[in-house]
Amino acid sequence: QPAVDPKIFSRFGNGKIKNIICSLSGKGGVGKSSVATQLALSISAQGKRVGLLDLDLTGPSQVRMCGLEGAKILQSSQGWLPAYVDASQRLAVMSVAMLLKGKNDSVVWRGPKKNAMIKQFLGDVRWGELDYLIVDTPPGTSDEHISLMEYLRPFSPCAILVTTPQAVSLADNLRSLDFCSKVGLPVVGLIENMSGYVCPHCAECTNVWGKGGGQALAEREGIRFLGRIPIDPGLVRVLDDAKDEAVALAKGASAGEQGAVKKVE
Ligand code: ADP
């Protein structure tokens, strides 16, 4: 067992972050990030303190999905300050997108640099005490997942798998499941996303990509089936629209919190 990094221990140790849930999917575009956002929003709406860490370094989407476009990471004497979704400060978001100059800038990094960034996110972000940390990971099983597990294993993270009912997504999820068992990451359960489309006019449900494949996979692999989410055009609108007020609020709340804060370049 490698020694626990002292900086990471100072953020996560002694029960500071009670539950860590990683959102995983074998394939991109199946709704892993959307599920992470919705999970974070719904848990924080229940009065819990939640952090949402976007580790999809090359395709970060949490800043946009949480209406925080334009927010930057602020540095305080106690570390990097996350952006808050609203004034209640119950949902804190941290993403590499908050380090980039332009919203269309790309991250072109090899494994070691990604590893260093993840270590920094885990050791430097001042989340404070959290009931839940939701970690949005890249699709598949890559450098990011290996680094994440290396650093967070002592703090008992768990995973939620997201799939669409399509065979190709289901097959890729078997790989994610295999990864979880290899690295000892317990799987809380599986969500079948984009499961049917309910016509807003006639209410008929069309199973665009089939239905029930996620549930069958969960049953076969002995993991919990957490439910299915239909294709919902309303969800796309909510997730794609940046909310200007939320941005202003997040900036104001973070900047006002500390005396001397400066933008991280
Ligand atoms: P991933 O993280 O797996 O790459 P995303 O969460 O970014 O996938 O979702 C991909 C796109 O699909 C996004 O534009 C998102 O708004 C949309 N989307 C995800 N889930 C649903 C859903 N249930 N209904 C409609 N659109 C969805």
How confident is the model over 27-43, as pLDDT tens digits? 899 999 999 999 999 99
Atom of ligand 1 minimally distant from the CA of 236? 16
Q: What number of CA atoms fall less than 13 Å from residue 243's CA on the CB side?
A: 14
CB under 8 Å to 214, separation ≥6 — which residues?
A: 163, 164, 165, 170, 190, 191, 192, 195, 225, 228
- Give the pLDDT score at 1: 52
Going from the C-alpha of 197 to that of each of 113, 218, 221, 229, 230, the distances in angstroms are: 41, 22, 26, 9, 6
Enter the ipTM: 0.98
- What are the residue boundaries of the structural domains of the chain, listed by start? 6-191+234-263
Q: Calculate the CA 133 to chain-centre distance.
A: 9
pTM exceeds 0.95: no
Asked whether residue 248 carries a pLDDT value surpassing 60, the answer given is no
Please choose, from the candidates 80, 78, 58, the residue with its C-alpha nearest in 3D space to the C-alpha of residue 264: 80
CATH topology of domain 6-191+234-263: Rossmann fold (3.40.50)
Query: What separation in Å is there between the alpha carbon of 30 and the centre of ligand 1?
Result: 6
Best residue among 27, 34, 35, 163 to mutate for probing ligand 1, ranked by most atoms within 8 Å of CB: 34
Protein residue with its CA nearest to atom 9 in ligand 1: 31
Annotated binding residue 114:
no
pLDDT, one tens digit per residue, over 152-203 is: 999 999 999 999 988 777 888 889 999 999 999 999 999 999 988 878 788 7
